[in-house]
Amino acid sequence: MDLDSVECVSPYDGLEEETSHLHPPFSKSHGGAAADGVAPLPAISPATSIHELLECPVCTNSMYPPIHQCPNGHTLCSTCKTRVQNRCPTCRQDLGDIRCLALEKVAESLELPCKYSSLGCPGIYLYYSKLKHESQCNFRPYNCPYAGSDCSVIGDIPFLVDHLKDDHKVDMHTGCTFNHRYVKSNPREVENATWMLTVFHCFGQYFCLHFEAFQLGMAPVYMAFLRFMGDEGDARNYSYSLEVGGNGRKLVWEGTPRSIRDSHRKVRDSHDGLVIQRNMALFFSGGDRKELKLRVTGRIWKEQQNQEPGVCIPNI
């Protein structure tokens, strides 16, 4: 973040998690012994064999209607039909506009496990509903929540925590309260977007605290918000508050953290967090209004029945 100094005060520091790596959800194996010098056929179950027939030979993705075929019966998906300039990649014959209706019909009754079964998903789904499920599967990997670059790393939460700590050098803190001080010598110079990320560990979960400045219209806007490292349903079990003030005035934000399933840009552009206009930020800073000095404090708590409001129990 393009800040002259950043100060973070937290009652607890340090965390250590075991790295977890993803493994491909499917593996293909072939077996069988040769007899009389004749190569054996692959020992494949009927369901697996059909699944392989439904794999596009060009992009290797599963094919969905319309499935195209050449006059010799070789198939490929509609996306790759354009990419190969209407010529069969197997036999080089012109594809024309032939649909493989038989394969499309066979696929209707095919049941397959979710591609995230190796990550814990136990479901079995009809072929044509499998794709929709996988786009919403709770076991699908998460995107890296780091906002400072277009990071393409995906993984489960323990893996991403270690990735943020080791590869992005993100500050890690333990506890459910935070106290950040942001100082900038020239608040009129704002690149789109100046940002900062801190990860907090409490209640056995991880939370990403974002603070950034970005151009909105003609003037900078400062924003702080919290994202939950998990799914939206679990995020609703927690609440957080943010407070910034000075000169006898203060702004307070209270809400539910957004899941990291929602991209950083989506949350920021929805203004779902503590938003501070530049004039107000300079007023909070005091002095001659030529230097930005903001102190953002806040806390995270878990929503539970029979718990007094406002009680925050640190996870030590």
Residue 162 has pLDDT above 80, yes or no: yes
**Terminal CA-to-CA distance of the chain, rounded, Å?**
29
Please give the average per-residue pLDDT across 259-277, as a whole number. 92
Element (H, E) at 268: helix 264-269
Q: Of the given ranges (14-23, 118-127, 184-193, 265-274), which has the lowest mean pLDDT?
A: 14-23
Q: What is the pLDDT of residues 166-208, one digit of tens each?
A: 999 999 999 999 888 877 776 666 554 567 899 999 999 999 9
The model's pTM is 0.69
Comparing C-alpha atoms, which of 258, 307, 250, 256 is closest to residue 276? 250
- Tell me the fold of 142-302: 2.60.210
Q: What is the pLDDT of residues 203-236, one digit of tens each?
A: 999 999 998 888 777 778 889 999 999 999 999 9
> Measured between alpha carbons, how far is 194 from 229 in angstroms, rounded to an integer?
22
> Measured between alpha carbons, how far is 99 from 76 in angstroms, rounded to an integer?
10
Q: Is 168 exposed, middle or buried (0-12, 13-18, 19+ CB in 10 A)?
A: middle
Percent of the chain exceeding pLDDT 70 equals 76
Q: Looking at the chain, how many residues does it have?
A: 316
Phi-psi region of 3 (alpha: psi -120 to 50; beta: other; left: phi over 0): beta
Domain ranges of the chain: 52-135, 142-302
3-state secondary structure of 21: coil
Q: Which residue has better confidence, 107 or 189?
A: 107
Q: What is the pLDDT of residues 110-143, one digit of tens each?
A: 888 998 998 899 999 998 899 899 999 989 999 9
> Measured between alpha carbons, how far is 232 from 234 in angstroms, rounded to an integer?
5
Q: Which of 11-15, 148-152, 168-172 has the highest mean pLDDT?
A: 168-172
What is residue 190's predicted lDDT score, i.e. its pLDDT? 57
Q: Select 52-135's CATH number: 1.10.8.100, 3.30.420.340, 3.30.559.10, 3.30.40.10.
A: 3.30.40.10
What is residue 189's predicted lDDT score, i.e. its pLDDT? 62
Percent of the chain exceeding pLDDT 90 equals 45
